Amino acid sequence: METVRLPLAAWIDALVGWLESTFGPLFDGISSAVVFLIQGLNNIFQLFPWWLLLLLVVALCWYLAGWKLAVGSAAGLLLIANLGFWSAFLLTLSLVLISSLLCFIIGIPIGIWSGKNERVHAVVFPILDFMQTLPSFVYLLPAMAFFGIGLMPAAFATIVFAMPPVIRLTDLGIRQVPAQLVEAARAFGSSPMQMLFKVQLPLAMPTMMAGMNQTIMLSLSMVVIASLIGAGGLGDGVTRALSRLETGMGFEYGIAVVILAMILDRITQRLGDRFQIQDKGR
């Protein structure tokens, strides 16, 4: 007996085509805005001499985590500059920061809404499961369909891929706020906005910072993959090394990506630790 195969691929292609034809001007506007932000941040970074930007990063690391992270960051950034990857490093950093910022802007409100509403939670979390288990390369296809190639499809794929952790952990942080504190705030006449900004968000911030850290790390991993659709930056070097089977070049660019990942990871971890200390101090 012959089985009837669902034309799932045709349905998805039709949906993507309809979205592209119906919302094309909207996508163009979003693309222009996001590319402007990424290129603008990159241009700001490029205004600084490499050594001055290095000193600023080292000073930030020293302030947040002490001399060990500062020395390690200095050594890593000096290696990147010595290898000639500084411009690619700044472009990758700009793309990661803007994509992560957009993840926070979109994901944190969704996480708050999900944490305060069971029906929203029941709808959002299966979608997040789907987003986190879908192979990362699949995100490149709708990104190219909607935005072509370049920075915008890279940012789109990165945002969709990296957003789930910040939503999940914002939801978790809101739910972990002790019910007694919420009731006490309500008894003292706090409005919903006062309760959110003065009670729930401050107490949920350490958990939310963990979600932000994971989102930044996922953004960096996706930015490297997105070099396949013209993202540029350090990922472009990895892609060229892969296509030419140049192992040494691949390791050089890979080490640069690892250095950037470690610096961003340690900075966000220390910020999360500071929020946790402030929370315990209350």
Confidence band for 97, pLDDT divided at 50, 70 and 90: very high
Query: pLDDT for 237-259, tens place per residue?
Result: 888 888 888 888 888 988 999 99
Q: HSE on the CB side for 99, CA within 13 Å?
A: 32
% of residues, the chain, pLDDT over 70: 96
Query: pLDDT for 138-175, tens place per residue?
Result: 888 888 888 888 888 888 888 989 999 999 999 999 99
User: Do 215 and 200 contact (CB within 8 A), yes or no?
Assistant: no
User: Cα–Cα distance between 62 and 46 in angstroms, integer?
Assistant: 23
Per-residue CA distances from 265 to 155, 158, 214, 258 (Å): 20, 17, 8, 10
- Give the start-to-end residue ranges of the domains of the chain: 26-281
24 or 88, which is more confident?
88
In CATH terms, the fold of domain 26-281 is MetI-like fold (1.10.3720)
Confidence band for 55, pLDDT divided at 50, 70 and 90: very high
% of residues, the chain, pLDDT over 90: 32
